[in-house]
Amino acid sequence: MDTAAAEWTAPPDGTPGRRAGRRFGAWPAGLLFLAVSVIVGCRVADTDGITPVPQALAFLPWLLVPATLGLLLALLSRWWFGVVWAVALIGLLAWFIEPYGKSTQPGGPGLVSFRVLTSNVEFGHGADALVAAVRREKPDIVFVQECEQTCDDTLRKALGTDYPHRAAQIAGGSKGSVVLSRFPLDPAGGVDGAMAMPGAVADVRGHAVRLQLAHPMPPLPGRTDEWRRELGELRDFAAEDHRAPLVVAGDFNASQDHAAFRRILDTGLQDAARLAGHDRAPSWPARTAPTLGVQIDHVLLSDDFSVGATRFLDLKHTDHRALVADLTLHQRR
């Protein structure tokens, strides 16, 4: 009888084997939650932190994957504190995935419409593909980053007739930049940085429009202070003068999940892709976009503009997708 009773008696929940199984699920879940919490905590605190936080913040929406995996592990191990922790993290991530910055429409009548294109051609390798895209899309103004001497020669020969006006700072490697325009350009001081960021004032059919190319240092480990400083320079530039309509376009090496980029939006600039409903469309790395990636290429506008449409273009031999935006300048109130 005693043997039969033992065979039919279920082991208690507190047996060492079951406790060990629960710990086996709770430990990896806790480690996942801890890593995600550090990054989300910096987002809550409105800071970019230190390496590796700035790099991870670019992929903030993808943190839903480890947070959800941790939730499943916590449920399987019946770690109820972990379940609550996971739900809180997922809720915060869902909140921060929403677009940042204002989205307003200009009140005055439309004055003139034009098209801009921005492209990082990766050390000039994508120059030929950019020429083909420009001929196909027919933008009025083209912002080109990482354009060295060979790239500049290609653009001059292929597009010089259609785009007779330019503001350029040509340098080797990733440091050169060019603004091409169908409209006349007057020189204007650019923004200081390790890579060229030229500026100009375009005469868009009788209306002055301030143009500024953006290409701050990427947030490389050990150089995040420089990255943050150059985004701050762009922020100061956007905040200092509101007398003319402004377009700031290029590879910002930052997404809306970076505090330094949000400070630029806080000046009143609006993201063209966000206004057109594409605020999370990835632009880098092109090799995995649009399935996997982040949006670090932007066209930012003062509130003098409305946006008709934006689209991202896949170009060969560059790790960035180009961005095209159709803009309409409105009369100020």
Q: Cβ atoms within 10 A of the Cβ of 80, count?
A: 10
**For residues 306-311, average pLDDT:** 96
**pLDDT for residue 219:** 97
pLDDT, tens digit (0-9, with 9 covering 90-100), for 243-275: 899 999 999 999 999 999 999 999 999 999 999
Mean pLDDT in residue range 275-283: 95
| Average pLDDT value for residue range 228-257 | 95
Query: Residue 158 pLDDT more than 50?
Result: yes
Task: Point out the least confidently predicted range of 2-16, 168-182, 251-265.
Answer: 2-16
Q: Answer yes or no: are the C-beta atoms of 288 and 257 closer than 8 Å.
A: no
Q: How far apart are CA 179 and CA 198, in angstroms?
A: 8
What domains can you pick out in the chain, each with its CATH number? 2-97 (no CATH), 110-330 (3.60.10.10)
Q: How confident is the model at residue 332 (pLDDT cuts 50, 70, 90)?
A: confident
Tell me the pLDDT tens digit for each residue of 50-60. 999 999 999 99
pLDDT attached to residue 22: 60
Q: What is the pLDDT of residue 7?
A: 42
**HEC assignment per residue over 95-130:** HHHCCCCCCCCCCCCEEEEEEEEEEECCCCCCHHHH
Cβ-Cβ contacts under 8 Å for 78 (sequence gap 6 or more): 22
- Average pLDDT, whole number, for the chain? 93
Q: What φ, ψ does residue 119 adopt, rounded to 5°?
A: -150, 130
Alpha-carbon separation of residue 276 from 211, 271, 280 (angstroms): 20, 9, 11
Confidence of residue 21 (pLDDT cuts 50, 70, 90): low
> What is the predicted pLDDT for the residue at 19?
57
Residue 52: is the preceding peptide bond cis (ω within 30°)? yes
Q: How far, CA to CA in Å, does 177 sit from each of 72, 120, 146, 153, 314?
A: 48, 9, 6, 13, 20
Q: What average pLDDT does this structure show over 189-217?
A: 97
Residue 13 has pLDDT above 60, yes or no: no
Whether the pLDDT of residue 302 is over 90: the answer is yes
Write down the pLDDT at residue 1: 45
331 forms beta bridges with none
pTM, 2 dp: 0.91
What's the start-to-end Cα distance of the chain, in Å? 94
Q: Report the alpha-carbon distance of residue 254 to residue 241 in Å, rounded.
A: 23
